[in-house]
């Protein structure tokens, strides 16, 4: 019988792609969602209601692997005090619920893999290259990712292998980061943000899904792995490439940091700063990125 992979947040951008990859690889797939969804011949849906601390336990009891992707969008709304709480709790509370079901039922898993983010290294622009041993930053994203990853360690305390995928900015066709930017670039109004010197470590969604697949299959993988290309792409280079693909050179002045701070508040840090991140650890595990060239990757996402 096919092994079952349970995805939390499997209805989102990464989860949809990952579902296809897992099915193609011979796994059965289940998804935990906050909304009622009809099962399909290929995917079984289970419900949870985090506000009521409710979870359909069968989701966990039938799973061989869990991949945790659920969480409120990080850059969807201004980071008010309440929004920050929601961003953090929507990632941690699901892990707590899963932990209690596993513990109460003496249930084990072949692996628990969780999303995390390169934001753990902080909103800093420097020439330093962050690897998995770089200490977490003290800013909002740094502390959020740290707490998120610490909750994953609770699952590890049950003797379950755990992997944390510290994800860069994910590129996909009309999805995620590009979905937000493409309309303005397409209309000829693309612009460099701030100094443009901030790094933008990116990954194509197909490569990311292959990392998740490897994380469940490869028993040697334990702990954090950076998942992004280390090609030193900056916001300036990215913006110029994107504009070029729409047939023009950027003519607008750089968007000044103060303006972004007024519009986005503290969240502006996430676009005005960006660090260099090493992917050496995952590559040393034998992983080969298929999308390594920025221009070709953007072309594949736009056509
Ligand atoms: N996309 C990126 O560039 C990127 C970069 C770094 C890290 N990541 C991380 O990777 C994970 C998946 O990203 P994604 O881009 O696929 O996200 P997404 O498209 O926003 O999907 C996330 C899913 O999480 C569930 N969700 C949303 N709010 C929730 C809440 N308050 N409580 C519980 N579940 C909630 C939703 O599923 P239901 O509505 O079905 O419940 C949603 O489909 C996230 O944790 C994200 O932070 C993404």
Residue 260's pLDDT is 85
What CATH number is associated with residue 84?
A: 3.40.50.720
First to last CA, the chain: 38
pLDDT at 267: 85
Assess if residue 166 is contained within a domain.
yes
Q: How far apart are the CA of 8 and the centre of ligand 1, in A? A: 9
- 15 falls within a domain: yes
* Residue of the CA atom closest to atom 11 of ligand 1: 69
**Residue 101 domain boundaries:** 4-170+204-228
Nearest one of 181, 211, 288, 198 to 237, comparing CA atoms = 198
247 is a domain residue: no
Q: Would residue 209 count as lying in a domain?
A: yes
Closest ligand 1 atom to 70 CA: 24
At residue 227, the pLDDT reads 98
Q: Is residue 98 a part of any domain in this protein?
A: yes
> Whose CA is closest to 270, among 82, 139, 134?
139
Residue 268 lies in a domain: no
pLDDT in tens, 106-160: 999 999 999 999 999 998 898 899 999 999 999 999 999 999 999 999 999 999 9
pLDDT at 269 (0 to 100): 86
Q: Is residue 220 part of a domain?
A: yes
Residue 274 counted as domain residue: no
Question: Could you tell me the maximum CA-CA distance found in the chain, to the nearest angstrom?
Answer: 61
pLDDT at 259 (0 to 100) = 85
**Closest atom, ligand 1, to C-alpha of 118:** 6
**Ligand 1 nearest atom to the CA of residue 177, by list position:** 3
Task: Determine the distance separating the centroid of ligand 1 and the alpha carbon of 95, expressed in angstroms.
Answer: 14
Q: Give the chain's residues under pLDDT 70.
A: none
Q: Is the CB of 135 under 6 A from ligand 1?
A: no
C-alpha 244 to ligand 1 mean position (Å): 30
Cα–Cα distance between 226 and 245 in angstroms, integer? 28
- Residue with CA closest to ligand 1 atom 37: 9
Contact indicator for 233, 204 with CB cutoff of 8 Å? no
Dist. CA 252 → ligand 1 center (Å)? 32
Instruction: Give me ligand 1 centre to Cα 138, in Å.
Output: 23
Which of 35, 47, 69, 271 gets mutated to test ligand 1 (max ligand atoms within 8 A of its CB)? 69
User: Domain total for the chain?
Assistant: 1
Cβ count within 10 A of residue 191: 16
Say if ligand 1 is within 6 A of residue 50 CB: yes
Among 262, 242, 12, 232, which residue's Cα sits nearest to residue 127?
A: 232
Q: How far is the CA of 94 from the centre of ligand 1 (A)?
A: 12
């Amino acid at each position: 019988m096919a092994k079952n992979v349970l995805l939390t947040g499997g209805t989102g951008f990464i989860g949809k792609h990952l579902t296809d990859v897992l099915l193609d690889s011979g796994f059965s797939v289940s998804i935990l969602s906050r909304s009622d969804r009809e099962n399909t011949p290929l995917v079984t849906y289970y419900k949870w209601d985090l506000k009521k601390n409710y979870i359909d336990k069968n989701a966990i009891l039938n799973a061989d692997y869990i991949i945790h992707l659920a969480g409120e969008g990080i850059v969807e709304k201004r980071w008010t005090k309440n929004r920050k709480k929601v961003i953090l709790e929507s990632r941690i509370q699901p892990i707590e619920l899963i932990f209690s079901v596993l513990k109460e039922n003496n249930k084990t898993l072949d692996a628990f893999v969780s999303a995390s983010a390169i934001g753990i290294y902080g909103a800093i622009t420097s020439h330093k290259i962050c690897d998995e041993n770089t200490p977490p930053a003290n800013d909002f994203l740094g502390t959020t990712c740290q707490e998120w990853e610490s909750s994953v360690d609770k699952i590890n305390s049950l003797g379950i292998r755990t992997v944390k995928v510290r994800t860069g900015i994910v590129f996909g066709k009309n999805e995620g980061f590009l979905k937000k930017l493409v309309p303005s670039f397409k209309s000829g109004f693309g612009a460099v943000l701030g100094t443009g010197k901030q790094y933008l470590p990116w990954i194509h969604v197909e490569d990311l899904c292959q990392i998740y697949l490897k994380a469940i299959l490869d028993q040697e993988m334990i702990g954090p792995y950076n998942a992004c290309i280390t090609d030193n792409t900056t916001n300036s280079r990215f913006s110029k490439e994107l504009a070029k693909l729409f047939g023009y050179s950027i003519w607008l002045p750089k968007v000044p940091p103060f303006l972004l701070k007024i519009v986005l508040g503290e969240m502006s840090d996430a676009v005005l700063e960006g660090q260099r991140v090493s992917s050496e650890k995952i590559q040393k595990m034998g992983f080969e990125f298929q999308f390594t060239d920025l221009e070709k990757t953007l072309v594949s996402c736009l056509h």
